[in-house]
Amino acid sequence: MDFNTRIIDATADLACAFKPNSAFYEKLGSEGVAALEETIRYIKHSYPRVPVILDFKRGDIGNTNNGYVEEAFDRFGADAVTVHPYLGREALAPFLDRTDKGILVLARTSNPGAGEFQDLPVDLNRLSDFYKKRFGDLEGLREMTGDDVFPLYQIIAYAAAVNWNSNGNVGLVAGATSPVELAEIRRIAGETPILIPGIGAQGGDVESTVIAGRDSNKQGMIINASRSIIFASSGPDFAGAARAETQRLTNEINQYRLAT
């Protein structure tokens, strides 16, 4: 916990959110889960204005999701979570119905193999009424772009940001490693917040990411950097090094965010 709290203390005034990844705690068993609980509790107590995004990418049938909702929000106290849309809106209802929490839906991820399924073409003219009902009204997407065929990630982005967002609590996840796709998601999703992983150790470019991801107010992005910050130094100065890297990245983001 000393490592976590020192990183948090060193960066809290610069961070728009903290995003612990549950897998790195869960793999350590009960002690790891306890450390995750304690880490979130520390943020809530010491820096209550900084939201906590629990990165756990859950998504199952509705009844199982009820358990995940209780785990994320009622046990851990997260303010937002990442979820995957593969089982559809009906299955995600327990998350989406938590109007006091943010639900960040995976649209175009940052891993090298993301396009294997996420880029598959979907022809709106060939969708049956069943799928149209499941996705919701997609005519707005057609009208917005003038196209009939879209990669699956764009269908997901539109469905989540427009058709699933009746409570105003939905955001999207789109990787910095694919700025062209990120720009398409921003065009489709409007002012919807986008969590953007892939900066830092994964090699995403800050300038192209910010230009592609900013909304009409030059905001709307939660740009994630993890390893490049927390492992900025392996020495006793790790907290100071983490702050320096966070400040450097913040300055770079703002340089491009505010550019005309």
Please check the confidence at residue 44 and state whether its pLDDT lies above 90.
yes
Looking at residue 124, its pLDDT comes to: 86
How far apart (Å, rounded) are the C-alpha atoms in residues 86 and 89? Answer: 9
Catalytic residues: 57
Answer yes or no: are the C-beta atoms of 106 and 85 closer than 8 Å.
yes
Question: Which region, left, alpha or beta, applies to residue 237 given φ > 0 means left and ψ of -120 to 50 means alpha?
Answer: alpha
Looking at residue 201, its pLDDT comes to: 67
Please check the confidence at residue 5 and state whether its pLDDT lies above 90.
yes
Answer yes or no: are the C-beta atoms of 259 and 212 closer than 8 Å.
no
Higher pLDDT, 195 or 125: 195
Domains of the chain and CATH, by start: 102-225 (3.20.20.70)
Residue 121 bridge partners (DSSP)? 151
Please give the backbone phi and psi of residue 199, each rounded to the nearest 5 degrees, phi first.
-80, 145
Please check the confidence at residue 178 and state whether its pLDDT lies above 80.
yes
Count of CB atoms situated within 10 Å of the CB of 245: 19
Please check the confidence at residue 160 and state whether its pLDDT lies above 90.
yes
Please give the backbone phi and psi of residue 246, each rounded to the nearest 5 degrees, phi first.
-65, -45
Q: Is 102 exposed, middle or buried (0-12, 13-18, 19+ CB in 10 A)?
A: buried
- For the chain, list the strands marked E by DSSP: 53-58, 80-83, 102-108, 121-123, 149-151, 170-174, 194-196, 221-223
**What pLDDT digit, counting tens, does each position of 52-82 carry?**
999 999 999 878 999 999 999 999 999 999 9
Q: Tell me the pairing of strands 170-174 and 194-196.
A: parallel
Burial 175-198 (b: 16+ CB within 10 A, else e): bbbbbebbbbbbebbeebbbbbbb
- The CA-atom distances, in angstroms, between 209 and each of 120, 193, 204 are 23, 14, 7
